[in-house]
Chain A
Amino acid sequence: MSNEATLHSQQEVMHGAHDHHDHEHHHEDNFISKYVFSMDHKMIAKQFLITGIVWAIIGAFFSVLFRLQLGFPDATFPWLESILGHWAKGGRISAEAYYALVTMHGTILVFFVLTAGLSGTFSNLLIPLQVGARDMASPFMNCLSYWFFFLASLVMMASLFVQTGPASGGWTMYPPLSALGDASIGSKIGVDLWLTSMALFVVSQLLGGLNYISTILNMRTKGMSMTKMPLTIWSFFFTAVLGVLSFPVLLSGFILLLMDRHAGTSFYLSDIFIAGKALANEGGSAILYQHLFWFLGHPEVYIIILPAMGMVSEVLAVNSRKPIFGYLAMVGSLFAICILAFLVWAHHMFVTGLNPFLGAFFVLLTLLIAVPSAIKVFNWITTIWKGNIHFTPASLFSIGFVSTFISGGLTGIWLGNSSIDIHLHDTYFVIAHFHIVMGVSAFFGMFAGIYHWFPKMYGRFMNNTLGYIHFWVTLVGAYLIFWPMHYEGMAGMPRRYFDYTNWASFNQFGPLNYFISIVVIIVFATQLLFVFNFFYSIFKGRKMTTMNPWKATSLEWTTPIHAGHGNWPGEIPEVHRWAYDYSKDGRDFIPQTEPIGPNEATH
Chain B
Amino acid sequence: MSGFLAVLVVVLIFIVIFQIAKASEYVSILKGEKKAREQSNRINGFLLIAFLVLGLIGVYWCNDLLKGKILGESASVQGEGVDNLIYVTLIITGVVFVLTQIALFWFAFKYQEKEGKEAFYFPHNNKLEIIWTVIPAIALTILVAFGLKHWFQLTSEAPKDAMVVEITGKQFNWIYRYPGKDGQLGRREFSKIDPAKGNELGVDWTDPLSKDDFIPTEMHLVVGKPVKMIIGSRDVIHDVGLPHFRMKMDAVPGIPTTLWVTPKFTTKEMKEKTGNPDFTYEISCDQMCGSGHYSMRGVIVVETQEEFDKWVTSQKSAYDLANPAPAAPEAPKADTTQKTVAANIK
Contacts and interface: CB of A to CB of B under 8 A. Distances in A.
Contacts of B286: 425-427, 494
A391 B40 contact: yes
Contact of A270 (B120, B170, B250, B254): B254
A176 B111 contact: no
Contacts of B187: none
Interface stretch (A17-25, A118-126, A178-186, A235-243): A178-186
Name, among B113, B118, B152, B254, the residue most crowded by chain A CB atoms within 10 Å (CB to CB). B254
Contacts of B241: 426, 492, 494
B8 interface: no
A417 B89 contact: yes
A225 interface: no
B103 A323 contact: no
A463 B27 CA distance: 12
A243 to B, nearest CB: 26
Interface in A72-88: 78-79
A525 B79 CA distance: 42
Interface stretch (A142-150, A251-259, A466-474): A466-474
Given A425-B248, A492-B241, A371 B136 contact: yes
Given A170-B288, A403-B101, A500-B294, A388 B117 contact: yes
A370 B141 CA distance: 11
Given A287-B252, A385-B111, A532-B18, A464 B25 contact: yes
A175 to B, nearest CB: 8
Nearest to A326: B124
Given A529-B14, A586-B118, A423 B44 contact: no
Interface stretch (B125-133, B216-224, B315-323): B125-133
A381 B107 contact: yes
Contact of B123 (A270, A327, A420, A490): A327
A27 interface: no
B249 interface: yes
Contacts of A582: 119, 121
Contacts of A464: 24-25, 28, 40
Contact of B93 (A185, A414, A533): A414
B236 interface: yes
Interface string A497-508: 111101111101
Name, among B107, B278, B295, the residue most crowded by chain A CB atoms within 10 Å (CB to CB). B107
Given A371-B136, A382-B128, A95 B292 contact: yes
Interface in A502-524: 502-506, 508-509, 512
Given A183-B290, A491-B71, A492-B71, A388 B113 contact: yes
Interface of B: 3, 10, 14, 17-18, 20-22, 24-25, 28-29, 37, 40-41, 43-45, 47-48, 51, 55, 58-59, 62, 66-67, 69-71, 79, 81-82, 85-86, 89, 92-93, 96-97, 100-101, 103-105, 107-108, 111-114, 117-125, 128-129, 132-133, 136-137, 140, 143-144, 147-148, 150-152, 154-155, 170-171, 190-191, 193, 195, 202, 234-237, 239, 241, 243-244, 246-250, 252-255, 257, 276, 278-280, 282, 284-295, 297
A170 B244 CA distance: 26
A570 interface: no
Given A326-B125, A375-B132, 15 more contacts: A174-B237, A174-B287, A176-B253, A274-B236, A325-B122, A363-B148, A374-B132, A386-B119, A396-B48, A406-B101, A490-B70, A490-B71, A492-B71, A504-B279, A580-B123
Interface stretch (A31-39, A439-447, A475-483): A475-483
Interface band, chain A: 35 or more
A176 to B, nearest CB: 5
A248 interface: no
Nearest to A467: B21
B82 A423 contact: yes
B97 A352 contact: no
B149 to A, nearest CB: 8
Contacts of A377: 100
A308 to B, nearest CB: 16
A15 B303 CA distance: 81
Q: Which 7 A-B pairs have the closest CB atoms?
A: A492-B243, A270-B254, A353-B257, A356-B155, A386-B120, A417-B147, A391-B44
Contact of B282 (A378, A472, A503, A529): A503
A465 to B, nearest CB: 4
A263 interface: no
B37 to A, nearest CB: 7
Given A386-B120, A390-B37, A584-B121, A396 B293 contact: no
Name, among B18, B44, B152, the residue most crowded by chain A CB atoms within 10 Å (CB to CB). B44
A484 interface: yes
A374 B97 CA distance: 11
B325 to A, nearest CB: 27
Interface stretch (A107-115, A154-162, A278-286, A553-561): A278-286
Contact of A389 (B112, B144, B248): B112
A435 interface: no
Contact of A422 (B82, B107, B285): B82
A384 B108 contact: yes
A282 B253 CA distance: 10
B143 A413 contact: yes
